[in-house]
Amino acid sequence: MFRLKSLLTGGVIATLLVTSAFAKRGADGIVKILNWQAPSMMNPYLAGGDKEVIAASLVLEPLAGYDENGVLFPRLAAEIPTVENGGVAEDLKSITWKLKSGLKWSDGSPVTSKDVVFTANYCMDPKVGCAALAGFQGVDKVEALDDLTVKVTFKEPTGVPYTLFVSQWSPIIQANQFADCLSAKAPTCTEANFYPIGTGPFVVTSFKPNDAIQLKANPNYRDANKPAFAEVNVKGGGDALGAARAVLQTGEYDYALNLQLAPDVLSEMEKGDKGKAGFTFGTTVEFLFMNLTDPSPSLPPEERSTAKHPHPILSDVRVRKALSMALDRARLSDIGYGSMGKPTCDFVPAPPIFAAGSTSCLQQDIPGAKRLLDEAGWRQGPDGIRGKDGEKLKLTLVTTTNPVRNQFQAIIKQWWHDIGVEVELRSIDASVFFGSDPSNPETYSNFYADAQMWANYFSGSDPGAYAESYTCGQSHGSNTPRYCDTNYDALVTELGKTADIEKRGEIVKKLNTILMDSYAIMPLVWRAGVSGISNTLGGTASNAWDSELWNAQDWYRNK
């Protein structure tokens, strides 16, 4: 009897403990988030960067999002449309989304397919200047079939039709609120851009651009018990070091985003035992890009770095391979990123189904690189620098002004010098290098240099559009090395028409092998995102495929 009683009370206590984690809405008070880069608006469609998009994901939701494993899950949609369940047409030319029934905006009005159609019209309006336009580009039309059903028709068969209305980049906005914000009026809609009405777990109560955002629990959120926090306080300003200190050392804040700091600084701060640094490996890879075309200033500007003139040195694949063989990627990763980086040979390092997991480039081989250059006809000169037909093997390597990248430059210069290549280094301010002005000669997209180093990544968990950016047709834009291979292009076309995930995985791995064997782009380090998480904050799940705050509705206070 006594035993039974203790068992029963034990059971009761256990249930109490479990339910306390899923307590009532708003039971856990305030959660404080530090985003030192400071969001300047809450409308991801007009945003100038990731920081705004992440903040907006607390309020605005897409039809479907990616979970921590990169798997699509329905948010506003009732289920993920696929070919199997009939949501995606057999010819892959249309997708039909069904909304959950009974969904409400935070102002209490119902969410309907009209809002979804409006969102598409808003982003596809050329005067708006929509940042997510790339996802809408293949769309023929978006139409509402009934109050809860939306059909998207594409111009071409589309293997992965989840580019629009999916992930933090493409959430649904309320038609009613943004109705007057179309075309040239988009920038005057300050109220809508600062206080968007959403379906997410929180509602903006006060927005101060680049400073502080206050949010409260959405009274109309679809799960009556969530979110556990009654208020969210997002603060911006300062730098990564100060943000790490506030979470890991003084414990003033619960969560800090984007803490790219030296590994030893972070581990020293973690000793305070107030919080931990969390690493998330997504798709960000630090690359060396080789220019396959001639960047010489003696060419006319419209022909400089174009496929019309192949690069005098780097168009020979043996030279590019030798340059890659001279690198010790593990050393670079260790020096620059510690546990926040891993050496890699893949341009798509994740998710696992797409990652080739190649290790062929990891072994540094200086003698092999020298032999290869000998074979290519580059003979060692008296000064140690190789030459051919009176021309010296001399390259310029450009990157952004950043301590880690500049250190990498110096190390790579040494290795390349060891195999007889003279390297000239240049670094350019990131805001100039990543600029969008076509007339600026210093930008990464103009690529008026022989090699450049920067990090590339793709959003979401599907590399389709990312792989497409290295096709011949893109060589004026995102294909910075001006790489062009008909085999690669044919496989990308095939990928575009393939819906089956296993087959897509195989094709991406093949693409990876073709691209890596070309040595036009050389992956160096697979980089992690770093966040600081307080020990008292529960329920966080790091997510590299969607917003870091994707599951803020499930966060709670550890008791």
Partner 1 sequence: MLNYAIRRLLISVPTLCLISLVIFSLLKMAPGDPLSQLPPSLPPEVRANMRAALGIDEPLFVQYLLWLKQFFVIEPLHGFDVLFGTHFTDGMQRIISWQSRGPVFRIIAERLPQTLLVVGLAYIVGLLIALPIGIVSAYKQYSVFDQIGTFLSMLGLAVPSFFSGVLAILIFAVYLDWLPTIYNTNLIVNSWSSFIEQLRQMAMPVMVLAVQTTASISRYLRSSMLDNLNQDYVRTARAKGMGENVVVLIHVLRNSMIPVVTVIALGLPSIFAGAIVTEQIFKVNGIGELLITAIYANDVPMVQTLAFIFAVLIVVFNLIADLFYGLLDPRIRYD
Burial category of 4 from C-beta neighbours within 10 Å (exposed 0-12, middle 13-18, buried 19 and up): exposed
Smallest Cα–Cα separation from 271: which of 468, 535, 538, 516? 535
Rounded to the nearest 10°, the torsion over CA 320, 458, 43, 186 is 60
Name the one residue in this structure whose structure tokens are 């005067």: 127
Q: Residue 249: phi, psi to the nearest 5? A: -105, -50
Measured in residues, the chain has a length of: 559
The least CB distance from residue 326 to partner 1, in Å, is 25
Q: Which is nearer to partner 1, 131 or 491 (CB)?
A: 131
The least CB distance from residue 211 to partner 1, in Å, is 4
Binding span for partner 1 by CB under 8 A among 2-10, 47-55, 159-167, 533-541 = 47-55
Q: Are 59 and 173 in contact (CB under 8 A)?
A: no
3-class DSSP assignment, residue 256: strand
Q: Which residues within the stretch 302-361 sit at the binding site for partner 1 (CB under 8 A)?
A: none
Binding span for partner 1 by CB under 8 A among 108-116, 235-243, 351-359, 547-555 = 235-243
The least CB distance from residue 88 to partner 1, in Å, is 24
Q: Which residues within the stretch 444-463 sit at the binding site for partner 1 (CB under 8 A)?
A: 444-445, 454-459
Q: Is 240 in the site for partner 1 (CB under 8 A)?
A: no
Binding span for partner 1 by CB under 8 A among 74-82, 114-122, 196-204, 469-477 = 469-477
Sign, CA torsion 527/529/530/536: negative
Q: Which is nearer to partner 1, 149 or 445 (CB)?
A: 445
Written as one letter, the residue type at 130 is C
Q: Is 244 in the site for partner 1 (CB under 8 A)?
A: no
Q: Which residues within the stretch 115-144 sit at the binding site for partner 1 (CB under 8 A)?
A: 126-131, 133-134, 137
Among 145, 434, 487, 500, binds partner 1 (CB under 8 A): 434
Q: Residue 440: phi, psi to the nearest 5? A: -85, 120
Q: Are 278 and 455 in contact (CB under 8 A)?
A: no
* Cis-peptide, bond into residue 196, ω within 30° of zero: no
Q: Is 442 in the site for partner 1 (CB under 8 A)?
A: yes
Q: Which residues within the stretch 156-195 sit at the binding site for partner 1 (CB under 8 A)?
A: 186-190, 193-194
The least CB distance from residue 246 to partner 1, in Å, is 6
Q: How many binding residues for partner 1 (CB under 8 A)?
A: 74
Q: Which is nearer to partner 1, 253 or 519 (CB)?
A: 253
Angle, helix 486-496 to helix 501-518, in steps of 10 degrees: 160
Q: Give the per-residue contact string, 257-276, with partner 1 (x = CB under 8 A; - = no).
A: ---------------x----
Q: Is 55 in the site for partner 1 (CB under 8 A)?
A: no
Q: Is 535 in the site for partner 1 (CB under 8 A)?
A: no
Among 28, 33, 44, 51, binds partner 1 (CB under 8 A): 51
Q: Is 379 in the site for partner 1 (CB under 8 A)?
A: no
Q: Which is nearer to partner 1, 103 or 525 (CB)?
A: 525
Q: Is 214 in the site for partner 1 (CB under 8 A)?
A: yes
Written as one letter, the residue type at 301 is P
The least CB distance from residue 379 to partner 1, in Å, is 37
Q: Residue 127: phi, psi to the nearest 5? A: -75, -15
The least CB distance from residue 258 to partner 1, in Å, is 12
- C-alpha distances in Å from residue 335, one per residue of 267, 346, 418, 532: 15, 20, 20, 22
| Strand-strand pairing, 386-388 and 379-380 | antiparallel
Strand partners, 286: 455, 525
Q: Is 411 in the site for partner 1 (CB under 8 A)?
A: no
Q: Is 252 in the site for partner 1 (CB under 8 A)?
A: yes
Q: Is 473 in the site for partner 1 (CB under 8 A)?
A: no
Binding span for partner 1 by CB under 8 A among 44-52, 73-81, 297-305, 347-355 = 44-52
Q: Is 426 in the site for partner 1 (CB under 8 A)?
A: no
Binding span for partner 1 by CB under 8 A among 246-254, 325-333, 483-491, 507-515 = 246-254
Q: Are 291 and 482 in contact (CB under 8 A)?
A: yes
Tell me the C-alpha distance between 110 and 321, whole Å: 59
Q: Are 315 and 292 in contact (CB under 8 A)?
A: yes
Cα distance between the two ends of the chain? 32
Tell me the C-alpha distance between 319 and 82, whole Å: 45
Q: Is 109 in the site for partner 1 (CB under 8 A)?
A: no
| Strand-strand pairing, 394-400 and 451-456 | parallel
Q: Which is nearer to partner 1, 206 or 267 (CB)?
A: 206
The least CB distance from residue 441 to partner 1, in Å, is 10
Q: Is 427 in the site for partner 1 (CB under 8 A)?
A: no
| DSSP single-letter state for residue 272 | T
